[in-house]
Amino acid sequence: MAFFAARQPILDKEKKLIAYELLFRESLKNVFPDIGEDIATSKIIEGLQFNLGLDTLTENKLAFINFTQETLLQRYPLMLPKEQLVVEILESVPPTRQLLEACKEFKAKGYKIALDDYVHKNVWLHFFPYVDIIKVDLRDSTVVQIDQIRKAAAAFPNIKLLAEKVETHEEFHQAIEMGFSYFQGYFFSKPEVMRSRTLDPSQLTIARLMTELSSDEPDMEAISKVFETDVNLSFKLLRYAQSPLFKRRNDIVNIKQAIITLGLQELRRFVSLLFTAQFSDRKPAALTVMSLVRARFCEHLSAQPGQNSSEAGAFLTGMLSLLDGLLDASLPELLEKLPLSLSIKAALIAGEGRLAEYLEMAKAFEAADWGRAQSLGKQLDMGIDKVTRLYVDSVRWATVRENMG
């Protein structure tokens, strides 16, 4: 049976990743399956413990997970580790005495508690001593309502406000001014300031390597010479090749040996990672990780039977899909400066072609848009169970690579 999962980043004021909200479904319907909420939540916990892995999906950050009234009263959150979990009380849960007792127990045992899509009612003040985070939907809340929540929470220094659906940098800064401490949404993946940006020589060198490696028969001799004439690139390649990820019989003594150790596919990924890392110093780590997940996922999709797409081109498409956010510049303007294939540019700029469909599938999983995922699965003639496993594998792969960086 398929187990669908998406994760949405939560950042602080410095745009540091602090947590993910995990969104689960047992089917492609974006609602709890018609099997009873307690059974559904049991399947969620089973999926985390035995199939997906909480560590994998959150990169050892906190996990915000929604719980319904019945699952809260039956103490389902206690089945997951307190160090990793934020118990999210859905907006549909009524503030009863039984719920208050459950919250007291969760708090006493060290769990963090959040109120989801909160709209202020005085009855919730009884819960505030045990609440750590109040989530507010910026799209559904007025300034007056937000101010009311802020004033109500002011007497409880343990409570932090989290702004949901923050989609632009302007909204991010406005939310800071309104007193929010945490932010959920994809504002960090979009350009903050649109401006002309040129690539320096080292970036162009890596871009040329990427282009060469995206061909079906790359010139490995020419690629080796590029590394050999750049001390910085050589050091990074040798360091990467020495990783325990790659099996080798002897120590690596030269560039060609390092390239052979990695193999063509991993060399392609390594060069793409280098390119993205050039611009990530002042960007949220979540942005680089998202690029890696998209790249690996698109590559996985392209490798499935009947796709007839370049795996290298698919990887590169996913990797470059967030380049505008990394460089704070127009994506078409940036891609004009790179010697990329027409199919990659068509996917990234016009949203056309099979590579664009892979990218759309990645975005559907990020947004937990299961209806869109189902539609794309049919277009690609892929079983959604397999696609889900490929996405989870991509998250695992990206986490390992980011930690190596």
Question: What does the CA dihedral 166, 167, 172, 175 come to, rounded to 10 degrees?
Answer: -40
Rounded to the nearest integer, the mean pLDDT of the chain is 83
Long-range CB contacts (within 8 A, 24+) of 177-180? 178/143, 178/146, 178/147, 178/150, 179/150, 180/136
Task: Please give the CATH architecture assigned to the domain spanning 201-404.
Answer: Orthogonal Bundle (1.10)
The pLDDT, as a whole number, for residue 41 is 53
| Residue 59, Ramachandran bin (φ over 0: left; ψ between -120 and 50: alpha; else beta) | left
H-only helix segments in 214-353: 220-228, 231-241, 255-277, 285-302, 311-320, 323-327, 331-336, 342-345
C-alpha span between 89 and 92 (Å, rounded): 8
Closest CA to 358 of 321, 313, 314: 314
Res. 294: pLDDT tops 80? yes
Beta strands in 68-216 (DSSP E): 85-89, 112-115, 133-137, 160-164, 182-184
Question: Which token pair is 270?
Answer: 């390594």
**Does the domain made of 4-189 have the CATH classification 3.20.20.450?**
yes
Q: What are phi and psi of 20, to 5 degrees?
A: -125, 140
C-alpha span between 114 and 164 (Å, rounded): 13
C-alpha span between 271 and 267 (Å, rounded): 6
**375 three-class SS:** helix
Over range 88-110, report the average pLDDT. 95
**28 three-class SS:** coil
C-alpha dist (Å) from residue 402 to 202, 207, 288, 289, 405: 21, 20, 8, 7, 5
Residues 6+ away with beta carbon under 8 Å from 339: 207, 208, 211
Are 159 and 114 a contacting pair, CB within 8 Å? no
DSSP state, 51? I
pLDDT range class, residue 338, cuts 50, 70, 90: confident
Taking only the tens place, the pLDDT of each residue in 239-279 is 888 776 666 666 666 788 888 888 888 888 888 778 777 76
Q: What are phi and psi of 390, to 5 degrees?
A: -65, -35
pLDDT above 90 covers what percent of the chain?
39
Res. 72: pLDDT tops 80? yes
Cα angle 57, 320, 7; round to 5: 20
The pLDDT, as a whole number, for residue 33 is 39
Taking only the tens place, the pLDDT of each residue in 123-181 is 999 999 999 999 999 999 999 999 999 999 999 999 999 999 999 999 999 999 999 99
Residues 6+ away with beta carbon under 8 Å from 56: 392, 395, 396, 399
The pLDDT, as a whole number, for residue 306 is 86
Are 323 and 334 a contacting pair, CB within 8 Å? yes
Domain boundaries of the chain, sorted by first residue: 4-189, 201-404
| Residue 131, Ramachandran bin (φ over 0: left; ψ between -120 and 50: alpha; else beta) | beta
Closest CA to 315 of 335, 336, 300, 332: 300
Taking only the tens place, the pLDDT of each residue in 185-217 is 999 888 776 555 556 667 777 877 877 787 777
Closest CA to 210 of 340, 344, 358, 402: 340
CA 40 distance to own-chain centroid: 24
